[in-house]
Amino acid sequence: MGFGIFLLCCNLILPLMMIGFGMVFLNHPPGKINSYYGYRTRRSMLNQNTWEFAHKYCGRLWKRIGIIMLPVLMAVSIPMLWMSETMQGVLTGILETLQILVMLGSIFLVEGALKREFDENGNPLH
């Protein structure tokens, strides 16, 4: 059962990180554009307006996704405690892959929002 508890913890790391970073990006985003920390894409780093918008949007999105993923993953992971270690490992691999795909998919949503709100030079469209 120790291995199953370890895998349960592994399955909850990404949603907890998304909630945590979502709250940080909402409440204490990186103030200035930098190449070390934050939501860093070509479009988000065009200017200070795109930088701030991207962090606020990404923060809200990651917080929501994490809050949704956390109970779902718990509901799926807890019954795995009574499965064989091989099955636990396989299912954890599948769950981790799906989580990473969801997190990477959020980049497309943030980039789409930036594209709707700003032109290619970072000027607001509205």
- Tens of pLDDT, residue by residue over 5-41, are 999 999 999 999 999 999 999 999 999 999 899 999 9
Model-level pTM?
0.93
Contact present, 25 and 39 (Cβ < 8 Å): yes
Tokens of 42: 């070509």
Contacts of 109 (CB under 8 A, 6+ apart): 61
99-115 pLDDT, tens digit each: 999 999 999 999 999 99
